[in-house]
Amino acid sequence: MIPGWFDGTHLLGTRCTSCQAVFFPPHHGFCRDPRCEGEELVEERLSRRGTVWSYTNACYPPPAPFVSAEPYVPVTLAAVELERERIVVLGQVKGLAVEDLRVGMELELTQGTLADGPSVWMWGPPR
Ligand SMILES: [Zn+2]
């Protein structure tokens, strides 16, 4: 779990109460839209579904501090445009290989474990 970013079922973002813009990771203090004077951002649970905007696989281990499995198992990554908020969130893909993915297909938020133990959000097939 990543405190403040993911509660186990939903990604947590913030919404500007002036212009309704949504930010992920959650951002506090002032609105990042330069046209907006808003200073109140409220936490919001984001859509659990979205469509694939782009995807790839990582056939080589990422650099430290990322801890890879030994031996390294290639991972699939997807950038998913959230259903309601229309923002793109990157995540590891669980239960689908890179050959299974297509731009525009629907994925659903799920949870998975990284090689060094932390439980994080991942993208998986819709249930
Ligand atoms: Zn704003």
For every residue of 87-117, DSSP letters joined together read -EEEEEE-S--GGG--TT-EEEEEEEE-TTS
Mean pLDDT of the region 31-45 = 96
**More confident call, 50 vs 27:** 50
35 and 80 in one domain? no
In sign, the C-alpha dihedral spanning 99, 103, 46, 40 is positive
Residue 20 Cα to ligand 1 midpoint, Å, equals 6
Mean pLDDT of the region 11-37 = 95
* 114 in any annotated domain: yes
Neighbours of ion ligand 1 (CB under 5 A): 16, 18-19, 21, 31, 33, 36, 38
Residue 84 Cα to ligand 1 midpoint, Å, equals 17
| Environment class of 10 (CB within 10 Å of its CB; exposed 0-12, middle 13-18, buried 19+) | middle
* 4 in any annotated domain: no
Mean pLDDT of the region 29-58 = 96
DSSP conformation class of 29: S
Q: How many domains does the chain have?
A: 2
19 and 79 in one domain? no
79 and 28 in one domain? no
Mean pLDDT of the region 114-123 = 89
Residue 42 Cα to ligand 1 midpoint, Å, equals 11
107 and 60 in one domain? yes
**Residue 87 structural domain:** 49-124
Residue 67 Cα to ligand 1 midpoint, Å, equals 37
Residue 31 Cα to ligand 1 midpoint, Å, equals 4
Residue 33 Cα to ligand 1 midpoint, Å, equals 6
pTM of the model: 0.90
Task: Record the tokens describing residue 78, joined without a space.
Answer: 């997807």
63 and 112 in one domain? yes
Q: Are strands 119-124 and 88-93 parallel, antiparallel or unpaired?
A: parallel
pLDDT category, 1, cuts 50, 70, 90? low
Mean pLDDT of the region 57-79 = 87
